[in-house]
């Protein structure tokens, strides 16, 4: 039990560390992958909806606390939803097939970024089309690539509760 808690906390801190250390270094035209979202999805798909949404909320609060200057609580909102939806994928990968599974993951990432960017840029008088093409899609694809890499590197057996 204790090992599982430390495993999860370790994953959260690794995600935070990577976001703060690499976030800016590997950004392309201001687009950076969301390592914290990857962590939330990994937790959600391995531990279920309850832990996914709870940790999604807490991780989102931390992200809001250290990286956002406006709309405190926005990352918490988007990551709670991402954690909750990814909880539906618990133990489903083998029955679903890899491509269908990854398609759902990409959809979760897209939903997360649509919520995040459309609310954040609401007051900036930008067109929705521009927000989606300039921010949502590139950020989603970049984060998805990171997710696929992590999913293939980080052994699944370590994550399944």
Q: Does 134 engage in binding with other proteins (CB under 8 A)?
A: yes
Q: Which of 11, 39, 43, 77 binds other proteins (CB under 8 A)?
A: 77
CA geometry: angle at 103 spanning 132 and 16, to 5°? 70
Q: According to the binding rule CB under 8 A, does residue 106 interact with other proteins?
A: no
Is 84 among the residues that bind other proteins (CB under 8 A)? yes
Interaction of residue 90 with other proteins, rule CB under 8 A: no
> Residue 138 to residues 50, 110, 114, 142: CA-CA distances in angstroms?
29, 10, 12, 6
CA atoms within 13 A on the CB side of 105: 29
Distance CA 68, CA 108 (A): 22
Q: Write out the DSSP string of 42-102.
A: HHHHHH-HHHHHHHHHHHHHHHHHHH-SSSTTHHHHHHHHHHHHHHTTTT-HHHH-HHHHH
If one asks whether residue 46 binds other proteins (CB under 8 A), the answer comes out as no
Closer residue to other proteins in complex, CB, 100/130: 130
Say whether residue 30 binds other proteins (CB under 8 A): yes
CA-CA distance, 34 to 141, in Å (whole number)?
Answer: 10
What is the nearest approach in angstroms of other proteins to the Cβ of residue 124? Answer: 4
Among 8, 39, 46, 87, binds other proteins (CB under 8 A): 87
Least Å distance, CB 85 to other proteins, is 10
Which positions touch other proteins (CB under 8 A)?
Answer: 13, 16-17, 19-21, 23-24, 27, 30-34, 37, 48-50, 53-54, 56-57, 60-77, 80-81, 84, 87, 113, 116-117, 119-121, 123-124, 126, 134-135, 139, 143
């Amino acid at each position: 039990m204790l090992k599982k808690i430390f495993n999860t906390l370790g994953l959260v801190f690794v995600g935070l560390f990577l976001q703060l250390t690499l976030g800016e270094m590997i950004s392309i035209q201001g687009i950076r992958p969301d390592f914290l979202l990857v962590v939330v999805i990994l937790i959600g798909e391995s531990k279920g909806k309850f832990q996914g949404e709870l940790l999604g909320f807490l991780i989102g609060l931390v992200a809001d606390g250290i990286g956002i200057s406006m709309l405190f609580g926005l990352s918490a909102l988007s990551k709670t939803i991402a954690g909750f939806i990814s909880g539906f994928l618990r133990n489903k990968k083998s029955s679903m097939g890899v491509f269908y599974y990854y398609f759902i993951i990409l959809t979760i990432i897209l939903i997360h970024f649509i919520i995040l960017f459309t609310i954040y840029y609401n007051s900036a008088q930008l067109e929705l089309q521009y927000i989606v093409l300039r921010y949502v899609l590139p950020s989603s694809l970049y984060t998805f690539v990171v997710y696929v890499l992590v999913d293939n590197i980080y052994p699944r057996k370590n994550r399944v509760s």
